[in-house]
Amino acid sequence: MRILLVEDEVRLTDALKYLLTKEKIEVDVANDGDSGLLLAKSQIYDVIVLDIMLPGNSGLEILKTIRKEGNTTPVLLLTAKDTVEDKVKGLNLGADDYLVKPFAVPELVARIRSLGRRFNGKYNYSDNLVFGNIEYIKDSYVLKIDNKKVSLSAKEGMLLEMMIRRPEQVFTKEQIINRIWGYESDVTENNVEVIVHHLRKKLKKGSNVEIKTIRNVGYKLTER
């Protein structure tokens, strides 16, 4: 699991990153709202943890912006405020959960894991991901279309997993490169186009799911 933690208390983020990493949760950290928004928009995360009170863009402003742009990543709000109004405002803007400081780290971990199992508005407790009439078995890189098995390459599997967890969300080529190959990779957008092409061919073998090109933006997984 990979999360984004946006919190301006550096000592707190350092401690949380250490503890979450021990729980096998990869953590990117931003200590202000502007860099937090940049990461939230340019990278792909399983969960975003947002403090409400931040220098620059506030947590609520970040949340409002990414939801407006169609980013459906589960968001957990952190705040020292314990008022009904703050909770309602955050939830109305699209937050998925809410945790008031100070909190116990095990509770934070549990809430992150719970949100990370959610995709397409549902909870997924297994290692298999389902959308339309397809099922993706992560451990073996196998795509099942109406119970017919199709083998995927590791990169095809990573792309499908990323998309099937966020159906209808548009992913840019830059986001795909950063998620699959990493920040410092020298691969080009052509590599993304090749992977998309091969995965599309495999999805066409009887599925009701397709990778749609959004012109000048990127790709999204949708039902036909």
Question: Residue 9 pLDDT > 60, yes or no?
Answer: yes
Same domain, 163 and 210: yes
Same domain, 22 and 107: yes
* Mean pLDDT, rounded, for 86-103: 85
DSSP letters of 87-110? Answer: HHHHHHTT--EEEESS--HHHHHH
In a domain, 149, yes or no: yes
In a domain, 199, yes or no: yes
In a domain, 122, yes or no: no
Strand ranges for 92-194 from DSSP E: 97-100, 118-119, 122-123, 128-131, 134-137, 142-145, 148-151, 171-172
Give the predicted TM-score (pTM) of the model.
0.69
* Mean pLDDT, rounded, for 15-25: 93
Same domain, 92 and 23: yes
In a domain, 83, yes or no: yes
Q: What is the CATH number of the domain that holds 167?
A: 1.10.10.10
Same domain, 51 and 132: no
75-79/97-100 β-pairing: parallel
Which amino acid makes up residue 177?
I
Answer for the pair 127, 116: CB distance below 8 angstroms, yes or no: no
**Gap between the Cα atoms of 217 and 74, Å rounded:** 22
Answer for the pair 44, 179: CB distance below 8 angstroms, yes or no: yes
Per-residue pLDDT, 223: 92
Q: Give pLDDT tens digits for 33-54.
A: 999 999 998 888 889 999 998 9
* Mean pLDDT, rounded, for 205-216: 92
In a domain, 121, yes or no: no
2-6/47-51 β-pairing: parallel
Q: Give pLDDT tens digits for 162-200.
A: 898 888 888 889 889 988 887 778 889 999 999 999 999
Same domain, 101 and 142: no
Question: Residue 68 pLDDT > 70, yes or no?
Answer: yes
Share of the chain above pLDDT 70, in %: 94
Q: Give pLDDT tens digits for 109-134.
A: 999 998 987 654 444 445 688 899 99
DSSP 197: H
In a domain, 123, yes or no: no
Per-residue pLDDT, 122: 43
Which residues constitute the domain of residue 22? 2-116
Answer for the pair 137, 210: CB distance below 8 angstroms, yes or no: no
Domain boundary among 47, 81, 116: 116
**Gap between the Cα atoms of 35 and 4, Å rounded:** 11
**Gap between the Cα atoms of 42 and 48, Å rounded:** 13
Domain boundary among 64, 84, 116: 116
- What total number of domains does the chain contain? 2
Instruction: Of 219, 169, 175, 222, give the one whose Cα is nearest residue 197.
Output: 219
Domain boundary among 91, 116, 141: 116
Among 157-161, 165-169, 203-207, where is mean pLDDT lowest?
165-169
Question: Residue 99 pLDDT > 80, yes or no?
Answer: yes
In a domain, 139, yes or no: yes
Same domain, 90 and 166: no
Share of the chain above pLDDT 90, in %: 56
Same domain, 154 and 181: yes
Question: Residue 100 pLDDT > 70, yes or no?
Answer: yes
Among 101-110, 115-124, 129-138, 154-163, where is mean pLDDT lowest?
115-124
Question: Residue 85 pLDDT > 80, yes or no?
Answer: no
In a domain, 186, yes or no: yes
